[in-house]
Chain A
């Protein structure tokens, strides 16, 4: 018995390791420059901790020269309603949902240990103590660095959200097909 019998595995590893180079070749622009890989963060959750993580990654990616987009859908879109807008929607159900979970970047709840707002308050206090930027500050930085915000048209319709309910600087509403095209063209996806 020689080491020869393990060669198929080594070959398989070599095959896999060869893939990134092939991808890099495929994405090289005609002039020989590498096309920077884009990032699409699909913001599905409106929970405080997940919105926070999305904005940390988005602002850092934009700061590092990565073209970055945030697709805001379902509860993720609620975080990008203006802070001062209290109730959104037209029907009683849409209004009731907004009442049950207040929209806006400064009104996020923790998915765990919310305790009627005690959790977020403690998180906010600790963030201040340790110099951690709050979601609102990160959002402002992300937008200043050119992060594109893409609201989901379907979510806007379902929750009865108007363009005027949204924060300023929001892009045009789009659908899933726009996101899929970006991913098909090589953008890195993050689903948060």
Chain B
């Protein structure tokens, strides 16, 4: 497994829709293009929401994994 150079981590565990997306958008905004953001969320809807959000914004969903109830997303800024 390669070690990713994560610029910012967003801990959205325990937050409901739409805060995982809103918090991630706020975290992504100041970063340079190509920077990686890691998001942790427990909202089951986030699994589909982050795919849709990346399509809408043009950011790249690099990784999507689930461990127990925690969903992890790695997003590369456009």
Which residues of A approach B to under 8 Å, CB–CB?
Answer: 56, 59-60, 62-66, 130-133, 138, 141, 144-145
Contacts and interface: CB of A to CB of B under 8 A. Distances in A.
Contacts of B16: 130-133
B57 A141 contact: no
Given A64-B53, A64-B56, A56 B18 contact: yes
Contact of B57 (A64, A131, A133): A64
B32 interface: no
22 contacts: A56-B17, A56-B18, A59-B22, A60-B21, A62-B25, A63-B18, A63-B22, A64-B21, A64-B25, A64-B56, A64-B57, A65-B56, A65-B58, A130-B16, A131-B14, A133-B15, A133-B22, A141-B19, A141-B23, A145-B22, A145-B25, A145-B26
Nearest to A133: B19
Contacts of B23: 141
Nearest to B12: A131
A61 to B, nearest CB: 9
Contacts of A130: 16
A138 to B, nearest CB: 8
Contacts of B14: 131
Q: Is the interface of B mostly helix, strand, loop or mixed?
A: helix
A36 B57 CA distance: 10
Q: Report the interface size class on chain B.
A: 10 to 19
A60 B22 contact: yes
A115 B27 CA distance: 40
Contacts of B22: 59-60, 63, 133, 138, 141, 145
A6 B24 CA distance: 50
B26 A131 contact: no
A72 to B, nearest CB: 20
Contacts of B25: 62-64, 145
B54 to A, nearest CB: 10
A59 B22 CA distance: 7
B32 to A, nearest CB: 17
Contacts of B58: 65
Contacts of A138: 18, 22
Given A63-B18, A64-B57, A138-B18, 4 more contacts: A63-B53, A66-B56, A133-B16, A145-B25
Contacts of B57: 64-65
